[in-house]
C-alpha cells in the first residue's frame, strides 16, 4: 500500500485540510485507489475506485485496511496535532488498545454480557469498548463464542 500527500489547504499558515492519494495493490491484480481528506481530526473519502468493484462488505472494511498507513502518513505530513493523533507530546492510537487471544475474548464476552444485563445493545457495547467497526466487533464476538466464553448464538432447546 502506498499513501502520499496530494495537496494541502492552509488557513492562517496552519494546515486546514490535507488530501492523500492512497493505493492498495493486491497480488491477484486487484487494486483500490482513493482520495482521502484529513480535516479537523476527521478522515473522509472523496473518491474510491476499485478493480474489480468492491462489495458492500469490502467497502465497509476499507477504513480498517488503510487506517494505519494513513495515520502514519498524517504524522509525517506535518498536519495539526489532532490530525497527527498526538496529544501532550505522545502518540495516540486511533482505537483503544485491546488484548488479543483468550484475554481479549474473555473481555469481549464480559462487555457483551454486561450490556445484555443492562438491556443495551451488546454489539454496540463491544464496538464502544474495542473501537472496532460493527463487522470487526461481530468477529470478536464470534471468536468469544468459539472460545466458549459466550453461549452459542442459536442454542437448541
In terms of phi and psi (left: phi > 0; alpha: psi -120 to 50; beta: otherwise), the region of 31 is: beta
pLDDT for residue 145: 93
The residue written with cell numbers 486546514 in the block is 16
pLDDT for residue 118: 92
CA angle, residues 50, 41, 24, in degrees to nearest 5: 20
Q: pLDDT tens digits, residue range 10-21? A: 888 777 888 889
If we measure between CA atoms, which residue out of 152, 132, 154, 131 comes closest to residue 142?
152
Instruction: Find the helix packing angle between 134-146 and 56-76, rounded to 10°.
Output: 110
pLDDT for residue 86: 38
Higher pLDDT, 35 or 82: 35
Q: Using the predicted structure, report yes or no on whether residue 156 has a pLDDT greater than 80.
A: no
pLDDT for residue 75: 63
Buried b (16+ CB within 10 A) or exposed e, 35-56: ebbbbeeebeeeeeebeeebee
CB 74 within 8 A of CB 36: no
pTM of the complete model? 0.46
Q: pLDDT tens digits, residue range 75-132? A: 655 444 344 343 333 333 445 567 878 888 999 999 999 999 999 889 888 888 887 7
Helix ranges (DSSP H) in the chain: 56-76, 81-84, 101-118, 122-130, 134-146
pLDDT for residue 83: 40
Between CA 10 and CA 129 the distance in angstroms is: 35
State the pLDDT confidence band at 142, using cuts at 50, 70 and 90.
Answer: very high
pLDDT for residue 144: 94
Helix (H, G, I), strand (E, B) or coil at 68: helix
Amino acid at each position: 500500500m502506498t499513501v502520499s500527500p496530494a495537496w494541502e489547504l492552509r488557513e492562517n499558515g496552519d494546515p486546514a485540510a490535507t488530501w492523500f492519494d492512497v493505493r492498495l495493490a493486491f497480488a491477484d491484480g486487484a487494486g483500490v485507489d482513493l482520495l482521502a481528506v484529513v480535516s479537523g481530526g476527521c478522515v473522509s473519502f472523496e473518491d474510491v475506485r476499485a478493480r474489480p468493484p468492491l462489495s458492500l462488505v469490502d467497502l465497509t472494511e476499507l477504513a480498517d485496511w488503510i487506517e494505519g498507513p494513513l495515520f502514519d502518513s498524517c504524522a509525517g505530513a506535518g498536519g495539526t496535532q489532532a490530525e497527527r493523533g498526538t496529544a501532550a507530546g505522545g502518540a495516540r492510537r486511533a482505537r483503544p488498545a485491546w488484548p488479543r487471544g483468550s484475554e481479549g475474548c474473555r473481555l469481549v464476552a464480559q462487555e457483551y454480557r454486561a450490556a445484555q444485563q443492562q438491556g443495551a445493545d451488546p454489539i454496540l457495547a463491544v464496538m464502544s469498548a474495542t473501537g472496532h467497526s460493527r463487522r470487526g466487533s461481530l468477529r470478536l464476538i464470534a471468536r468469544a463464542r468459539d472460545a466458549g466464553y459466550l453461549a452459542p448464538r442459536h442454542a437448541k432447546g
